[in-house]
Chains A and B, each alone.
Chain A
Amino acid sequence: MPFQPVKFYQTGTFTVGNRLLALEQRSVQANMQRTNSLNSGHRACQGCGEALGARYAIDAAMRASNKQLIAANATGCLEVFSTPYPETSWQIPWIHSLFGNTAAVATGIAAALRVKGRREVRVIAQGGDGGTTDIGFGCLSGMFERNDDVLYICYDNEAYMNTGVQRSSATPPAARTATTMPVGPEPGNVFGQGKNVAQIAMAHNIPYVATATVADLHDLEYKVNRAMGMHGARYIHIFVPCPLGWGAASNDTIRLARLARETGLFAVYEAEHGEVTSVSKIRKRVPVEDYLKLQRRFAHLFGKTPALETIARIQAMADKNIRKFGLLEQGGQ
């Protein structure tokens, strides 16, 4: 991992202590000069992973662009909780147009900046998984294919949370949502569906694709910074737990994000021009039960008679990710 300079175990966590790093190596969030692009006072739920992810990402992008940043935002939780006027939390020029067109709006902004010769101003588009992997997918793919100069960030909380936790194409198998029950005999989402937009982004051969979680601040900031150092279409897919939609404790947001990575269920990597260039290794492999049990959306797997077969299938998905991306360290457990 080129982006995490030291491995340091603080008590009970894997967090790298900022205090122990040189000033320039500390996170943007640790810096008093950070822009706080998504300011306090917004209306996100307690423990919201998306709010965290957005602040991390946009603050990092602001530093990388020397505060020359414009953002387009899809409809969704992020848009709703951040804006009801006059209480906008955005400290950057920000536009919300529709649910499904954010990538295209960002393309338009980038085009306007190019035609006006304002090369220094950079453009970010952001949305949740619904706005990215479902309704906004056409515009996203178009933006990728044209290699428009936009960094698109997807905050993936694996369902439509703004409308009351409905299934999206990013909802994992067996996760229970308000709309998975009518589909199939189990209350959870079916196996064998859904799409992996980071992989699809790579198939567009765009300059940069990365995945990240809100549990690894340094990694997330590194990736935003790296993306901002490039031009053309770039995509970062950030895993952001949703306490409300997942039925998890709000103080477990970071832990869940870390477990998603440590189980192998969410592969953290970066890719350039369609090829994986680095992966975040799992330091201590965790069985998927540890991750699933913390969330009520999977509670139906752990009743009086645990759904061992279903859990095994989820474990198989994690194992496959680990094999596919080589997520285990040499000699890892």
Chain B
Amino acid sequence: MLKQCEGSHAVASAVAMCRPEVICAYPISPQTHIVEGLGEMVKSGNLAPCEFINVESEFAAMSVAIGASAAGARSYTATASQGLLFMVEAVYNASGLGLPIVMTVANRAIGAPINIWNDHSDSMSQRDCGWIQLFAENNQEALDLHIQAFRLGEELSLPVMVCMDGFILTHAYERVDIPAQEQVDSYLPAFVPRQILDPAEPVSIGAMVGPEAFTEVRYLAHAKQMQALELIPQHAAEFKQIFGRDSGGLVRPYRCEDAETIVVALGSVLGTLKDTIDEMRDAGHKVGVLGIVSFRPFPLLAVREVLKNARRVVVLEKSLAVGIGGIVATDVRMALSGLHLHGYTVIAGLGGRAITKASLHKMLERAVKDELEHLTFLDLDHNLINRHLEREKQKRRSGPMAENMLRDVGVVAARIA
């Protein structure tokens, strides 16, 4: 059924149709609308049986999900930003124990300075936590990926993070095709756990493992993610059969066939990039976009296959590995091992800075001429930085950096973008 609704609402509908049995709720922007939506459905009886638990922190949210999943319940929670960081210990624990929890991450920046707007710093910080990480390009895909996430996670006994851009997607109203419950039921079988806390058959879960087997346990975690590389395209194909649309998969190339320059990115910025690339194609540039849906496992071969005939690759990412540059870029470079391509990293959209078509055009026009710096910060305000560096030069006690810079910027409420 086609519906014009908020991204969060679309995701809540999808999650509800997956029949989660335990939902842990702790508020943090911008994921709140999702869990609130689910809460309403539990309250109204439309989502039953389901335990909706208001916990006291994100750490507890993930911990309750761990307990529930270990006791055989399909478990779900959502978080963002500081919330994800606050639960990190439990996030690693969930994957280490092999519990197929599904969690939405409404991607948001990490402080300090505190910032509620979108970028990918939060989930990128968890790239090695053992969870599968899928990134949605639009609200339809966000909806679809949640259905696929439960299927994939439960098949592999691995937790899955569905990452969707905070505000840009969670708070955007757009058209989504909300599937019928029967479609979801035929795609997603009932949860049959590999391990369960059951008095009829007592097991110990989470025992200490020493050097004699720890490497093997970790190896299997990796092997399962490698298995996911095969399952994800299969699941996407099955999804298409039942739901009639392309969603998910490992990567999504757009106009890459003969492209000399390919931009690699994740999430909602892919839309703006596609519009930009169309205009550049019209102007005669051979450019394309490669969207990465599955960031963990990282599809090295699929990425290499798309990029291998290009002359240059621009990785545009909403995250920054301080001290080296890109996070996604590092993985992409791994995929290109042995190939001689010009590689550029563009850090964009940090803390919600709008990524505009105009800026992308300017950046790509330099890229196609190989005039781009290898590490570029899109729309960086050099004046603002220089003013602060000058201030630091002037006196030792130059004061709090972010606050000084804000004073230089002036009132922001009066701006549109």
A binds B: yes
State the Cβ distance, A224 to closest chain B Cβ, in Å.
Answer: 17
Distance of A67 Cα from B198 Cα, bound (Å): 11
Contact (Cβ within 8 A) B21 A112: yes
Measured CB to CB, the nearest residue on chain A to B101 is A108
Q: Which of B196-248 contact A (CB under 8 A)?
A: 197-199, 201-210, 213
Which chain A residues border B70 with CB–CB below 8 Å?
A: 95, 105, 108-109, 112
Does any Cβ of B come within 8 Å of A91's Cβ?
yes
Which chain B residues border A97 with CB–CB below 8 Å?
A: 63, 66-67, 90, 93, 97, 206
Contact (Cβ within 8 A) A83 B204: yes
Measured CB to CB, the nearest residue on chain B to A122 is B199
Contact (Cβ within 8 A) A146 B199: no
Contact (Cβ within 8 A) A95 B197: yes
Which chain B residues border A121 with CB–CB below 8 Å?
A: 199
| A-contact 0/1 string along B48-76, CB 8 Å cutoff | 01110111110110111111111111010
Does any Cβ of B come within 8 Å of A90's Cβ?
yes
Contact (Cβ within 8 A) B89 A98: yes
Contact (Cβ within 8 A) A146 B54: yes
Known: A67-B199, A100-B59, A107-B67. A112 touches B204 (CB 8 A): no
Partner of B22, one of A83, A115, A146: A115
| B-contact 0/1 string along A117-161, CB 8 Å cutoff | 100010000000000000000110110011000000000000000
Partner of B206, one of A96, A113, A116: A96
Measured CB to CB, the nearest residue on chain A to B196 is A93
| B-contact 0/1 string along A60-71, CB 8 Å cutoff | 000000011110
State the Cβ distance, A128 to closest chain B Cβ, in Å.
Answer: 15
Which chain B residues border A79 with CB–CB below 8 Å?
A: 208
Does any Cβ of B come within 8 Å of A72's Cβ?
yes
Does any Cβ of B come within 8 Å of A104's Cβ?
yes
Contact (Cβ within 8 A) B22 A112: yes
| A-contact 0/1 string along B149-184, CB 8 Å cutoff | 000000000000000000000000000000000000
Contact (Cβ within 8 A) A106 B67: yes
Known: A83-B207, A97-B206. A111 touches B68 (CB 8 A): yes
Number of B residues, CB within 8 Å of A: 44
Does any Cβ of B come within 8 Å of A191's Cβ?
no
Partner of A93, one of B59, B63, B75, B199: B199
Contact (Cβ within 8 A) A105 B64: yes
Which chain B residues border A105 with CB–CB below 8 Å?
A: 63-64, 66-67, 70
State the Cβ distance, B87 to closest chain A Cβ, in Å.
Answer: 9
Partner of A138, one of B56, B62, B208: B56
Distance of A72 Cα from B21 Cα, bound (Å): 20
Does any Cβ of B come within 8 Å of A3's Cβ?
no
Which chain B residues border A302 with CB–CB below 8 Å?
A: none
Which chain B residues border A80 with CB–CB below 8 Å?
A: 208
Which chain B residues border A14 with CB–CB below 8 Å?
A: none
Does any Cβ of B come within 8 Å of A84's Cβ?
yes
Distance of A139 Cα from B207 Cα, bound (Å): 21
Known: A84-B210, A108-B64, A116-B21. A98 touches B56 (CB 8 A): no
State the Cβ distance, B194 to closest chain A Cβ, in Å.
Answer: 14
Does any Cβ of B come within 8 Å of A94's Cβ?
yes
Contact (Cβ within 8 A) B64 A111: yes
Distance of A97 Cα from B99 Cα, bound (Å): 11
State the Cβ distance, B215 to closest chain A Cβ, in Å.
Answer: 15
Distance of A139 Cα from B205 Cα, bound (Å): 20
Known: A108-B66, A138-B57. A101 touches B204 (CB 8 A): no
Contact (Cβ within 8 A) B210 A88: no
Binding site secondary structure of chain A: mixed
State the Cβ distance, B66 to closest chain A Cβ, in Å.
Answer: 5
Which chain B residues border A142 with CB–CB below 8 Å?
A: 55-57, 60
Which chain A residues border B50 with CB–CB below 8 Å?
A: 115
Contact (Cβ within 8 A) B202 A101: no
Contact (Cβ within 8 A) A139 B59: yes
Contact (Cβ within 8 A) B202 A98: no
Known: A68-B199, A94-B205, A96-B205. A109 touches B71 (CB 8 A): yes
Contact (Cβ within 8 A) B90 A141: no
Measured CB to CB, the nearest residue on chain B to A71 is B197
Contact (Cβ within 8 A) A108 B63: yes
Which chain A residues border B197 with CB–CB below 8 Å?
A: 70, 93-95, 109
Contact (Cβ within 8 A) B56 A93: no
Contact (Cβ within 8 A) A95 B67: yes
Contact (Cβ within 8 A) B63 A88: no
Known: A111-B53, A112-B21, A142-B56. A93 touches B198 (CB 8 A): yes
Does any Cβ of B come within 8 Å of A85's Cβ?
yes
Which chain B residues border A100 with CB–CB below 8 Å?
A: 59, 89
Q: Which of A273-318 contact B (CB under 8 A)?
A: none
Distance of A92 Cα from B56 Cα, bound (Å): 29
Which chain A residues border B213 with CB–CB below 8 Å?
A: 85
The winner among B55, B97, B201 for most chain A CB atoms within 10 A is B55
Contact (Cβ within 8 A) B60 A113: no
Known: A108-B71, A109-B68. A84 touches B199 (CB 8 A): no
Distance of A70 Cα from B70 Cα, bound (Å): 11
Known: A72-B67, A97-B66, A104-B67. A112 touches B73 (CB 8 A): yes
Which chain A residues border B199 with CB–CB below 8 Å?
A: 67-70, 92-93, 121
Contact (Cβ within 8 A) A109 B67: yes
Which chain B residues border A117 with CB–CB below 8 Å?
A: 49
A-B contact pairs, 19 of them (CB 8 A): A70-B71, A80-B208, A90-B202, A95-B70, A96-B207, A101-B59, A104-B63, A105-B70, A107-B63, A108-B69, A111-B53, A111-B68, A113-B71, A114-B51, A115-B49, A139-B56, A139-B63, A146-B53, A146-B54
Closest 3 pairs between A and B when the two form their complex, measured CB to CB:
A108-B67, A142-B56, A104-B63
Given contacts A70-B199, A83-B208, A138-B57, 18 further A-B contacts (CB under 8 A): A72-B67, A83-B207, A85-B213, A92-B199, A96-B204, A97-B67, A97-B93, A98-B89, A107-B67, A108-B22, A109-B68, A111-B64, A111-B67, A112-B68, A112-B71, A115-B51, A139-B59, A146-B54
